[in-house]
Structure 1
Amino acid sequence: MNTQTISPGLEGQRRDGVLYTPNRKKHASLSTPSFRFTNYEIEEDGAHRQAELFYLQKQIQSQTPMVIVLEDGEKLEGQIEWYDRGVLKIRGRAKTLIYKSAIKYMYKLGEAGQ
């Protein structure tokens, strides 16, 4: 089984619950993300949590091809197969587990200027 785990770099530092990496590039030309995960350690708002669960479940049921952009700028394409509070399982070229904390944003394939 080809399963990878992608996690935030160890060189980063946490400040107020947000991961800051020293060599992070700024992307001013990116459009507004279609979905962004919230940090539930900081914000325990049930409405945001329910919106996330609804969005993910809808994408799983319709098997929507997604693009997941990680904090370091890497883009992964695939369909969301499974999720829990801290991890997404993506089926693309390989099955990949991605920590939600490593995700910058995600959008449907073909939406944001592809």
Structure 2
Amino acid sequence: MNTQSILPGAEGQRRAEVFYPTHRKKQSSMSAPSFRFTNYEVNEEASHRQAEQFYLQKQIQSQTPMVIVLEDGERLEGQIEWYDRGVLKVRGRAKMLIYKSSIKYMYKLGEAGQ
């Protein structure tokens, strides 16, 4: 029985050295995507973001019932649980995630003549 076929010797190591550099070259030659998944302006003003964060944090802490009007006119009622740069989590009749880019405006329930 030939032990070289069972246990790789120096030849097996050389084969591995040849394989991995070519494999790495193929991996590094892949180009990065030419688009970005962002729903916000890259040059968005810091003061605008800070004002938005302050307002949302205040509504979360006080558990204020809110009305959120979407771009298509749909109205959603509920309390904001948390937020990040692109999404609000609202708890109403059901829990839902709402993209900020789809929100036309929002106000406190009981305001705006209701």
TM-score range, shorter chain: 0.5 to 0.7
Larger Rg: 2
Number of the residue aligned with 1:75: 75
Number of the residue aligned with 1:109: 109
The runs of 4+ residues in structure 1 deviating greater than 3 Å are: none
Number of the residue aligned with 1:92: 92
In structure 2, the gaps of 5 or more residues are 1-38
AA partner of residue 101 (structure 1) = S
AA partner of residue 45 (structure 2) = D
In structure 1, the gaps of 5 or more residues are 1-38
Q: For 1:40 and 1:93, how far apart are their aligned partners in 2?
A: 28
Structure with more of its chain in strand, by fraction: 1
Q: Secondary structure at the match of 1:41?
A: coil
How is 1:9-88 mapped onto 2 (pairs within 5 angstroms)?
40-41=40-41, 43-88=43-88
Q: TM-score normalised to the size of structure 2?
A: 0.64
Q: For 2:101 and 2:110, how far apart are their aligned partners in 1?
A: 24
RMSD (Å), alpha carbons: 1.3
Q: For 2:50 and 2:104, how far apart are their aligned partners in 1?
A: 19
Identity %: 87
Q: For 2:100 and 2:40, how far apart are their aligned partners in 1?
A: 11
Higher relative contact order (CA 8 A, sep 6+): 1
